[in-house]
Structure 1
């Protein structure tokens, strides 16, 4: 089961904008209040998978959707077509006419992450802090929220998850696995700005909150 490719699916609905008041200071509670998102919602994404074997990161484009509180969908459109759906404790992956369903019991670290990010989406800081150490930095105009797993089993797969945003918009997620290369997912405005951008440094700048042009 492709665990790494499913991780962004657990984060998929954090990127829709809402109205906020500007302030030079940042608080973890303020960020979490802006990341809470009711269903239904959807947002486009650009995933970048680094690899020492590739000259440039593997680029995957598509859309994330959350049709209801219990369903998460990741639809890949380029460079291939694939739809992954997490619902009722299982994930279904569909490519063309082929479809396979797996129980999240086969990947307990994903089940734990699903529960934790459910807390993130609902704004439940107490539950989130049971699973992660949370650190925030920056300002309300440009902030970073870093999640470090407390559970040893989860830490076996994921070292840190860094969320980058501007105001109430989550623009990028960087996942650092315990083994392997960093995975970067640009969302919302950052994904739109990434259209036609191939340079790795420019994409990193977009992820971290600055404009490339």
Structure 2
């Protein structure tokens, strides 16, 4: 048992973040489930995330389409299929910027960066913990309510981006990346899986 997760009362968010640090390059398969008021059903994408260091992230979508997003030095390069790559400034995509900040700081074990960019709260114990990162940047706060990370011991299970308009994108990683999604596919059931519930019904 990790000493800083002995019980809910003793949980130490800073030590927990230190335990999430990964050697570079850090890669994980993922399944992303997007819940939006614009659609009458959840959108599902599967692929791989690659963290290459501070400010550098790769996201590959393998299904239901092929797409690669690369972030380096504040620039986003988007390549879908065989189309010509598109480049845009990261500042134009606040949801992606917020995720990059949080994801990079967590996988880098950079407590100072997390606390600089987010209001950090934590809860749980060794079998199930949660970090909640609420952005400090007023511009990001208009689009993102919080990033929540659910996990166990020193491994994350889910990264959730909670939009200010109550939409949500839930990314299941590590062991949950290939799990069977619950049916019917509701936000509540996916969140339950992230928190240690049964993934398939």
When normalised by structure 2's length, the TM-score is 0.83
Report if aligned partners of 2:192, 2:198 keep a CA contact under 8 Å in 1.
yes
Alpha-carbon shift at residue 132 of structure 1 (Å): 0.9
Please name the residue that 2:63 is paired with.
Answer: 78
Which of 48, 55, 75 is 1:90 aligned to?
Answer: 75
Gaps of 5+ in 2: none
On the 8 A contact 2:18/2:110 being kept in 1, the answer is no
Residue of structure 1 aligned with 2:162, choices 152, 161, 176 = 176
Q: Which residue of 2 aligns with 1:140?
A: 126
Q: Does 1:35 align with 2:35?
A: no
* Alignment check: 8 A CA contact 1:133 1:149 kept: yes
Change over 3 Å in CA distance of 1:205–1:111 after alignment to 2: closer
Q: Does 1:121 align with 2:107?
A: yes
In the alignment, the residues of structure 1 paired with residue 135 and residue 113 of structure 2 have an alpha-carbon distance, to the nearest angstrom, of 13
> Which range moved further: 201-210 or 88-97?
201-210
Distance 1:137 1:88, change over 3 A: same
Deviation of the 1:115 alpha carbon: 4.4
For the 8 Å contact 2:127–2:153, the answer to whether it is kept is: yes
Candidates 10, 14, 24, aligned match of 2:7: 24
Which range moves more in the overlay, 132-141 or 67-76?
Answer: 67-76
* SS in structure 2 at match of 1:192: coil
Q: CA separation in 2, counterparts of 1:109 and 1:206?
A: 23
Q: Confirm or deny: 8 A CA contact 1:116 1:128 kept in the other structure.
A: yes
Q: 1:20 to 1:124 in 2, by over 3 A?
A: same
User: How many residues align structurally?
Assistant: 194
Q: Check conservation: 1:23, 1:141, Cα contact below 8 A.
A: no
Judge conservation of contact 1:39–1:69 (CA < 8 Å) in 2. Answer: no
Give, in whole Å, the separation in 1 of the partners of 2:97 and 2:38: 30
- Aligned-pair distance for 1:191? 1.5
CA distance in 1: counterparts of 2:65 and 2:164, whole angstroms: 27
Unaligned runs of 5+ in 1: 1-18
TM-score, length basis structure 1: 0.79
Runs of 4+ in 1 over 6 A off after TM superposition: none
Q: Give, in whole Å, the separation in 2 of the partners of 1:150 and 1:202.
A: 29
Tell me the C-alpha RMSD between the 2 structures.
Answer: 2.5
| TM-aligned CA distance change 1:20 to 1:125, over 3 Å | same
Aligned partners of 2:159, 2:98: CA distance in 1, in Å? 18
